[in-house]
Amino acid sequence: MAKSYSRRNFLKVSALSGGGMLISFNLLQLSAGAQPADSEPFAPNAYIKISADGSIVLMAPNPEIGQGVKTSLPLIIAEELEVNWQTIQVELAPLHSAMGRQTAGGSGSVRGRYNELRTIGATAREMLVAAAAQTWSVPAAECTAANGEVTHTPTGKKLSYGALAATAATMPVPAKPALKDPKTFKLIGTRITDVDAKKIVTGQPLFGIDTRKEGMLFAMVSRPPAYGKTLGKVDDTAALKVQGVKKVVQIENAVAVLATSTWAAKKGRDALVVQWNDKEKLENTADHFDSFKKLLDKPSATPPARNDGDVDAAAQQAVKVLDVYYEMPALSHGQMEPLNFYANVQNGKAALYGPTQVPASVRSEVAKKLGIAEADITIASPRQGGGFGRKLMTDNGVEAALISAAAKCPVQVQWTREDDMQNDFYRPAEMWRYRAALSATELLSWHQSGIGIGRGVRGDSYIAGSIANYRAEGQGFASNTPTGWWRAPGANTLAFAAESFMDEICVALKKDPVAFRLAILQQAKQQPVGKLSYDPDKYKSVIDLVVSMSNWNSKKPGIFKGFSTWYSFGSYVAQVVEVQLVKGQPKIMKVYCAVNCGRVINLSGAENQVQGSIVDGIGHAMYPKVTFVNGAVQETNFHAYKMLRMKDAPMDIEVGFVPSEEPPTGLGEPGLPPIAPALANALFAATGKRIRKMPFAEQMG
């Protein structure tokens, strides 16, 4: 029998089934002042578990969607805890009230948890040192912790963390544990391989789609074939005759077929005869863009988000006026793992397991929909085959719970790629109008006006704050085609328009794109106009670094360069794209990328994120789009929704990080926004053709 008790609200001691003691430090409960009940059984959700046999498990509190936090978050604990990284184990934590913001989004995991996880590691380390000092009756100051053991420096005596764990649990909790001097970091800033690397390459069951539980049925769901349609009559006679099909259930606006295998469920789903009724307007992408253009050609219906000086008066003094439109299509998320979710809703309780970036939101929505108390719902997420913002929406988890509740059995709901493409929350289609007034040598005014499906567009470029006459307007466009968050939301389209337009201004004024931007930042630093929402010195730090990495000022024969820079999620990025014409077709030979993201935690993971953001950004600038015709998505799978493939990836991407002693800032997204304009600017240099519309490939002919 496992005996469990709480000590000072944060430590739990329990017997391991294999013998020995298991100590868990549940420090967030302590710091949050929470009072766990004494009767609470040992819950494997602490950040650190040290057992008597010396094995150490560190928990990764946030969902892993490919951004590397299952490696980088425990790495921060391990640094302060002083353990041998090679011998520890890492697990993904289920949703637990003691673990704070368990979300993957906004490039926030590392930057939000850096100090917290250091403190947690340091607290445990100090308690282990105190335990050793007490055991040896020596001052704690004579003891040092390293490599999973404490050493009494004068005598050389050693005790392992495993041997100390039981005593450590009785030590007082240090109020302010001493954090390590970053100069002594052994792990942070080095190259650490993903903790799941071996499991990934051997095909271990790591993902939601791999979930297999006792009594579970596989489900496929028939959902509306177009936005604006609603469920009508259902004839499931043929579906129920398909070998392996067990049940058909209706939920809200959909019908689920449950079967003994995924393929049987799909065949059953395809055999359903469902009548879909037109309930709302069936919309078309072509109409969206026609409306965008008409609205942008009228005075803005909404007041400007920012209005410095007088852009209209400045235009009167102009020698030249630039007035251009940029367009970005709707995009699907296209994460490689099609959506899925496991749910077991029975007897007023729910167990949920599957891909989500927001487990707490899934739980609260399931609680509301099914009338189950949140305390009776458990939820955890496995490693996920990409997120990119799709799983900030909760539909896949909630749907699975509704199906399980209706079918009264555990169910694994599997989406096909077509399901995924037709039922997404898309990167909104947008159009931007950019106007600039130029004198013979100077930029006099900048006027940007944007419109997009859904909540609308917003944001400024760094020009805001450096120029006397600036106006930014943004508006939304009502539609029943759903929109959501897509990697670097807002920034991924705004940067394309703003940084391409900046290049157009440089061309018109015959200015070097780098020198022109440095002058803007200098102006912003010395004489800001109104509010500055960035640090000009940090912008300059990445521009200077990428200029030196890429030898910007040197000409290379046959190489055409494009430059762009953007600030998002707390991090500054500057990029140079080098394009060569191969048989008249542009080929991306090299991308240079400088990043200022504060302190880098895992150099290998950080570099991978930045390189990946660049490849991802190039791919989505170049190839795919989502087109609605009568509410139905035309690009139903990867044959029509074109993803970048290896042959079109850059031959090389060099990433440089500005050395920084500051806490880490975002890194899963900031590499993406500047790459589309850097590429468009390089393509202009190579071909003389200005690309103002995504996907670029359609413009290149």
Partner 1 sequence: MPELSLTVNGKKIQIDVEPSTPVLWVLRDHLNLVGTKFGCGMAQCGACTILLDNVAVRSCMLPVSAVGQRAITSIEGLSATGDHPVQEAWVEQDVAQCGYCQTGQIMSAVALLRSNPNPTDAQIDAAMSGNICRCGTYLRIRKAIHTAAKKQRTI
Question: Residue 177: CB partners within 8 Å, gap ≥ 6?
Answer: 119, 122, 123, 125, 126
Report in angstroms how near the CB of residue 638 gets to partner 1 at its nearest: 4
First-last CA distance in the chain: 72
φ and ψ of 343, to 5 deg: -145, 140
Report in angstroms how near the CB of residue 610 gets to partner 1 at its nearest: 10
Identity of residue 624: P
Q: Are 430 and 450 spatial neighbours (Cβ–Cβ below 8 Å)?
A: yes
Report in angstroms how near the CB of residue 260 gets to partner 1 at its nearest: 8
Report in angstroms how near the CB of residue 339 gets to partner 1 at its nearest: 11
Residue holding tokens 């140079």? 576
φ and ψ of 273, to 5 deg: -110, 105
Q: Are 679 and 588 spatial neighbours (Cβ–Cβ below 8 Å)?
A: yes
Q: Are 415 and 388 spatial neighbours (Cβ–Cβ below 8 Å)?
A: no
Report in angstroms how near the CB of residue 1 gets to partner 1 at its nearest: 33
Q: Are 460 and 472 spatial neighbours (Cβ–Cβ below 8 Å)?
A: yes
Report in angstroms how near the CB of residue 64 gets to partner 1 at its nearest: 8
CB nearer to partner 1: give 350 or 593. 593
Report in angstroms how near the CB of residue 193 gets to partner 1 at its nearest: 5
In sequence order, what E strands does 347-404 have? 349-353, 377-380
53, exposed or middle or buried, with CB in 10 Å at 0-12, 13-18, 19+?
middle
Residue holding tokens 């806490």? 663
Residue holding tokens 């469902």? 274
CB nearer to partner 1: give 7 or 417. 417
CB nearer to partner 1: give 327 or 607. 607
Of 214, 275, 219, 286, the residue nearest 248 (C-alpha): 219
- Percent of residues in the chain assigned helix, strand, coil, to nearest 5: 35, 25, 40
Tell me the two tokens of residue 156: 């050389």
Tell how strand 559-568 and strand 571-582 pair up.
antiparallel
Report in angstroms how near the CB of residue 437 gets to partner 1 at its nearest: 39
Report in angstroms how near the CB of residue 574 gets to partner 1 at its nearest: 19
Q: What is the dihedral of CA 150, 152, 157, 160, to 10 degrees?
A: -10
CB nearer to partner 1: give 395 or 635. 635
Report in angstroms how near the CB of residue 63 gets to partner 1 at its nearest: 11
Q: Could you give the angle at the alpha carbon of 311 between the alpha carbons of 308 and 315, nearest 5°?
A: 155
Tell me the two tokens of residue 235: 């004839």
User: Which residue ranges make up the site for partner 1 (CB under 8 A)?
Assistant: 64-68, 191, 193-194, 196-198, 200-207, 209-210, 212, 218, 243-244, 261-264, 334-338, 383-388, 414, 416-418, 604-605, 608-609, 611-616, 619, 637-639, 643-647, 649-653
Report in angstroms how near the CB of residue 604 gets to partner 1 at its nearest: 5
CB nearer to partner 1: give 132 or 672. 672
CB nearer to partner 1: give 71 or 541. 71
Tell me the two tokens of residue 168: 């450590």
655, exposed or middle or buried, with CB in 10 Å at 0-12, 13-18, 19+?
buried
Helices then strands, counting H and E runs in the chain, come out as 18, 29
